[in-house]
Structure 1
Amino acid sequence: MMGMNPRQMKKLMRQMGIKMEELDGVKEVVIRLENKEIILKDPVITIITAQGEKSYQIVPGSEEVRTVISIPEEDIKLVMEQAGVDYDTAKKALEEAKGDLAEAILKLTEE
């Protein structure tokens, strides 16, 4: 297949029942792992359909890795009680404090 022009390649793929299409308008793709997220910004995504199965080819424009902190429910409830705030406020404070209970409570009670 070396030296085959793109039009010939598309025709051959169509004959083999392989369809390729580009997915437009995608701003980012997020891959969530247990303790981090990989954010692929401005990706070029190609959907390849062969024998009824879809595959996605993703080529990122740029990549960002974020560490995800898991906040236990007990910690959120403790911050709610100690600081006298609602669930979402307590959770956000804990996330900003990277799970540090004392820092989250102090931040909320100082405001």
Structure 2
Amino acid sequence: MFGGGGGGGLNPRKMEQMMQQMGIDVEDIDAEEVIIRTEEYDLVFNDAEVTKMDARGQETYQVIGSPEQVESGAAGGADAGADESAGTEIPDEDVELVATRAGVSEDEARDALEDADGDLAAAVERLE
């Protein structure tokens, strides 16, 4: 992408300086597992290298590793039963927003959000 011919490109420090000048922030993420879920199968990357690049508000994630292809929905199954709420964790701010908007208790708002898979508009619509 950058660099001229010959010598194999830019050194990493120069590349980082150029990216910062263009407003691109790069962050390494210490990921234990990455799952890409499709209708047909799941791709599971164990100990993948993950880099997040933020270019003026547009976030891009790069995953480097060799995935294992498993049956759709099978990925994360061993840990999902132990901590099932981790995948459906509803932020308190969302609960408060739905409760205020629909005029209901926070418990009712949380239940509606869980039923709507975290979709704020759908939860409010169900409660109104």
Listed one character per residue, the Cα deviations across residues 10-65 of structure 1 (whole Å, up to 9, x for unaligned) are 111101101111001x11111111132111111000000001111000001x3211
Paired residues of 2:41 and 2:71 also in contact (CA < 8 A): yes
Sort the Cα spacing of 1:19 and 1:68 in 2 relative to 1 into closer, same or farther, 3 A.
closer
User: Is 1:48 paired with 2:60?
Assistant: no
- Identical columns (%): 37
Higher relative contact order (Cα pairs below 8 Å, separated by 6+ residues): 1
User: Is 1:35 paired with 2:40?
Assistant: yes
Equivalent AA in structure 2 for residue 54 of structure 1:
E
- TM-score by structure 1 length? 0.54
Sort the Cα spacing of 1:4 and 1:66 in 2 relative to 1 into closer, same or farther, 3 A.
closer
For 2:58 and 2:27, how far apart are their aligned partners in 1? 14
Aligned-partner SS, 2:35: strand
- TM-score by structure 2 length? 0.48
For 2:57 and 2:32, how far apart are their aligned partners in 1? 27
Partner of 1:58: 63
Equivalent AA in structure 1 for residue 28 of structure 2:
E
Runs of 4+, deviation exceeding 2 Å? none
Aligned-partner SS, 1:9: helix
How many residues are treated as equivalent by the alignment? 67
